[in-house]
């Protein structure tokens, strides 16, 4: 045995990782691999499964319902990630420039949607969207804009954006809190310098705030993207994937196939694919953020 000088990496260090790895393996890796294994079968969850190789995975590309579901997930990314991050940035930039009285109270209120269980949020918004007696339509009718009242969750073109807006409402508070915290970390001298150089609010935002928030933006994008792709509860409670298949998403298909219609193998394939997409997107977002830091 060669003596290792202090501070040098030693193999024994891996021993310290073992407990963590064991837990991770037992609850994440093994189930993940097992899911991948089940995805190779046509299995109803009860009787013996039949080996079908990669058929369940090719179905992801050939079955229109599944393609639609993944397409909807991408559309929802706009509502889950892009919009909340944009709104969050706007709010953070405003708060950075002006001294708002009662800022903490505002921040708390804006963050509240994050704290409420999604199931409750969904049930509440279902009532808000109700064509008859729902908050939005009734408000429109009260102010004489009854013509704008919509069949929010029942219209084939509106249902997906309507579900998406709920997510925006839930997520922007998170983005805002991350960004306002981030802004406070940016040295005030940078803002002073920008002002001395004659930068207006827009220039200041682009030159100082935005670069300073790169890490927070990456974090917000990662969190909201993951939430967007595994979105299940909102769809399950508000529309059940309807009307037609206008709001179906991959996570809903996983549930439906595994627990309702006895296609456990197909559900596993969707799940594996979903996990891969989430992994790839999070990886890309973080690579992008890291590169910016250098």
Residues that bind another protein (CB under 8 A): 9, 11, 14, 21, 25, 29-30, 33-34, 37-38, 41, 43-49, 51, 126, 129-133, 151-156, 159, 239-245, 256, 259-264
249 close to 73: Cβ distance less than 8 angstroms: yes
Q: Is 53 helix (H, G, I), strand (E, B) or coil?
A: coil
77 close to 91: Cβ distance less than 8 angstroms: no
Q: Smallest distance, Å, CB 22 to another protein?
A: 9
Which C-beta is closer to another protein: that of 44 or that of 214? 44
Exposure class string for 247-258: b at 16+ Cβ within 10 A, else e: bbbbbbbbbbbb
Q: Smallest distance, Å, CB 186 to another protein?
A: 37
CA-to-CA distance for 248 and 158, rounded, in angstroms?
A: 13
Bond preceding residue 243 cis, omega within 30 of 0: yes
Which C-beta is closer to another protein: that of 138 or that of 245? 245
- Rounded to a whole number of angstroms, the distance between the first and last alpha carbons of the chain is 40
Q: Which of 25, 65, 29, 119 is nearest to 270 (CA)?
A: 65
Which C-beta is closer to another protein: that of 133 or that of 198? 133
Q: Which of 27, 25, 70, 62 is nearest to 280 (CA)?
A: 70
Which C-beta is closer to another protein: that of 118 or that of 162? 162
The two structure tokens encoding residue 111: 């963050």
Which C-beta is closer to another protein: that of 44 or that of 138? 44
Q: Smallest distance, Å, CB 221 to another protein?
A: 29
Q: Smallest distance, Å, CB 59 to another protein?
A: 12
Which C-beta is closer to another protein: that of 191 or that of 252? 252
Q: Smallest distance, Å, CB 234 to another protein?
A: 14
Q: Smallest distance, Å, CB 26 to another protein?
A: 9
Which C-beta is closer to another protein: that of 93 or that of 118? 118
Q: Which of 243, 220, 76, 231 is nearest to 161 (CA)?
A: 76
Q: Which helix (H) or strand (E) holds 79?
A: none
215 close to 149: Cβ distance less than 8 angstroms: no
Q: Smallest distance, Å, CB 74 to another protein?
A: 21
């Amino acid at each position: 045995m060669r003596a290792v000088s202090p501070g040098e990496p030693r193999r024994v260090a891996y021993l310290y990782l073992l407990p963590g790895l064991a837990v991770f393996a037992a609850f994440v890796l093994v189930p993940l691999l097992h899911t991948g294994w089940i995805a190779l079968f046509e299995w109803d969850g009860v009787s013996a499964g039949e080996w079908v190789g990669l058929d369940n995975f090719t179905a992801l590309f050939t079955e229109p319902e599944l393609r639609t579901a993944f397409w909807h997930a991408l559309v929802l990314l706009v509502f889950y990630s892009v919009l909340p991050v944009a709104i969050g940035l706007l709010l953070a930039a405003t708060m950075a420039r002006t001294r708002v009285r009662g800022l903490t109270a505002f921040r708390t209120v804006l963050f509240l949607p994050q704290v409420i269980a999604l199931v409750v949020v969904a049930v509440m918004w279902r009532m808000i969207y109700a064509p008859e007696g729902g908050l939005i339509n009734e408000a429109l009718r009260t102010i004489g804009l009854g013509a704008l009242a919509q069949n929010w969750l029942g219209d084939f073109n509106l249902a997906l954006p309507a579900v998406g807006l709920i997510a925006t409402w839930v997520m922007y508070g998170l983005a805002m809190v991350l960004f306002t915290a981030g802004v406070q970390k940016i040295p005030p001298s940078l803002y002073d310098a920008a002002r001395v150089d004659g930068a207006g609010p827009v220039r200041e935002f682009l030159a100082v705030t935005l670069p300073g928030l790169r890490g927070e933006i990456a974090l917000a994008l990662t969190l909201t993207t993951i939430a967007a792709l595994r979105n299940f509860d909102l769809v399950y409670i508000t529309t059940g994937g309807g009307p037609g298949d206008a709001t179906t998403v991959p996570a809903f298909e996983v549930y439906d196939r595994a627990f309702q219609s006895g296609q456990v193998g197909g559900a596993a394939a969707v799940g594996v694919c979903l996990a891969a997409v989430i992994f790839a997107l999070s990886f890309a977002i973080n690579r992008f953020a890291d590169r910016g830091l250098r």
